[in-house]
């Protein structure tokens, strides 16, 4: 076999998709329990909207430290070599690369399906972040890792952060961002958010049962600061931002409204396959929970929010 034939074989392996429970997934990921979210246009659209939402949230909450491009804080300076882990639609990669045509942005993801448009100084590669990251040591100025917790196995986080530490040059920075998918009420009306609580329970249980090394545990995202210090990072700080899931807060009405569309789509997209494939509930009950949870996300009287 020539190298070319091998290459085609590898690419096909990553390209194949399958339809399950009404959405389209990457076959390679499902077989190995890597990314259990869909790779269809609907998810691509959601991720693009969520990318814009995050820029609005950060611009609002961190405006002093956050330049107008809204992609990373000012103190990161002008990174030459940038790494984006789990690039998805490549919206972030592409904007960083366009903002500074002299920098090179390397993106790693298990799937290329959602990335449609990116400039030449953006190099996208297939990699499973559960495996050791093989980029050269001290070759990166800035690492960005956003919303990949659903694809990292429980015991991988420390190794993942150590790998990223190794790839960074002295003085380099890392920016991690994850949702804490526990929905809360700002005015003590948590009893009105029962379907959301049930959704979180089912989704966390489904990920926990993953066949991939010991499953995934999303509550780990609240421990990232400790894990970063253990991985030898210095000058570590965490910012937890409360983001409304509808327009109940007049100070951030637009953000709440945008987040409502995002969260109503997210709770379906990320949970459908894991919950139904493990038989944690039947499809009809899952639809009922989803429908009730979507209504609760929009329930202004309960002032629902989650943390970023
Ligand atoms: C929710 S999307 C987020 C995309 C992008 N970071 C953003 O914020 O818009 C998660 C992405 O991470 C990728 N991913 C999840 N687990 C992964 C893993 N173990 N290895 C490589 N990519 C992974 C998925 O394929 C998907 O593109």
Query: Ligand 1 centroid to 36 CA: how many Å?
Result: 10
pLDDT of 167 = 98
**Cα 48 to Cα 51, 86, 168, 233, distances in angstroms:** 5, 14, 27, 30
Q: Please, what are the domains in the chain?
A: 12-307 (3.40.50.150)
Query: Ligand 1 centroid to 84 CA: how many Å?
Result: 10
Average pLDDT of 244-270? 97
In this model, does residue 225 exceed pLDDT 50? Answer: yes
Which atom of ligand 1 lies nearest, measured to the CA of 153? 19
Ligand 1 proximal residues by C-beta, below 6 Å = 34-35, 37, 47, 51, 86-88, 91, 109-111, 114, 127-130, 146-148, 151-152
pLDDT of 6 = 47
Q: What is the mean pLDDT of the chain?
A: 92
Query: Ligand 1 centroid to 29 CA: how many Å?
Result: 11
If one residue of 88, 94, 181 were mutated to test the ligand 1 pocket, choosing by the most ligand atoms within 8 A of its CB, it would be: 88
Q: Are 289 and 199 in contact (CB under 8 A)?
A: yes
Comparing 5 with 131, the larger pLDDT belongs to 131
Average pLDDT of 240-256? 95
Q: Are strands 104-109 and 122-126 parallel, antiparallel or unpaired?
A: parallel
pLDDT of 301 = 98
In this model, does residue 176 exceed pLDDT 80? Answer: yes
Q: How confident is the model at residue 135 (pLDDT cuts 50, 70, 90)?
A: very high
If one residue of 23, 26, 35 were mutated to test the ligand 1 pocket, choosing by the most ligand atoms within 8 A of its CB, it would be: 35
**Atom 1 (ligand 1) nearest CA:** 147
pLDDT of 212 = 63
Task: Find tokens 């995002």 and name the residue.
Answer: 262
| pTM, to two decimals | 0.93
């Amino acid at each position: 076999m020539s190298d070319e034939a091998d290459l085609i074989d590898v690419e096909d392996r990553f390209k194949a998709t399958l339809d399950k429970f009404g959405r389209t997934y990457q076959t390679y990921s499902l077989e190995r329990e890597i990314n259990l979210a869909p790779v269809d246009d609907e998810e691509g659209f959601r991720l693009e909207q969520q990318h814009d939402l995050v820029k609005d949230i950060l611009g609002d909450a961190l405006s002093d430290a956050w330049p107008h491009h809204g992609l990373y804080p000012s103190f990161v300076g002008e990174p030459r070599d940038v790494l984006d882990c789990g690039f998805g639609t490549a919206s972030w990669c592409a904007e960083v690369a366009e903002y500074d045509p002299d920098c090179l942005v390397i993106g790693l993801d298990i799937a290329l399906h959602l990335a449609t448009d990116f400039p030449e100084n953006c190099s996208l590669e297939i990699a499973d972040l559960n495996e050791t990251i093989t980029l050269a040591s001290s070759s990166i100025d800035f690492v960005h890792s956003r919303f990949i917790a659903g694809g990292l196995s429980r015991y991988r986080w420390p190794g993942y952060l150590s790998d990223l530490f190794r790839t960074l040059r002295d003085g380099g920075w890392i920016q991690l961002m994850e949702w804490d998918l526990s929905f809360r009420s700002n005015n003590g009306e948590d009893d009105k958010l029962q379907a959301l609580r049930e959704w979180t329970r089912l989704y966390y249980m489904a990920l926990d049962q993953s066949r991939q090394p010991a499953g995934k545990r999303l509550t780990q995202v609240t421990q990232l600061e400790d894990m970063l210090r253990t991985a030898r990072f210095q000058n570590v700080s965490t910012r937890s931002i409360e983001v409304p899931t509808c327009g109940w807060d007049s100070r951030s009405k637009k953000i709440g409204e945008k987040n409502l569309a995002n969260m109503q789509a997210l709770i379906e997209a990320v949970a459908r396959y894991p919950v139904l494939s493990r038989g944690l509930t039947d499809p009809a009950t899952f639809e009922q929970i989803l429908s009730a949870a979507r209504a609760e996300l929009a329930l202004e009287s309960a002032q629902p929010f989650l943390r970023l």
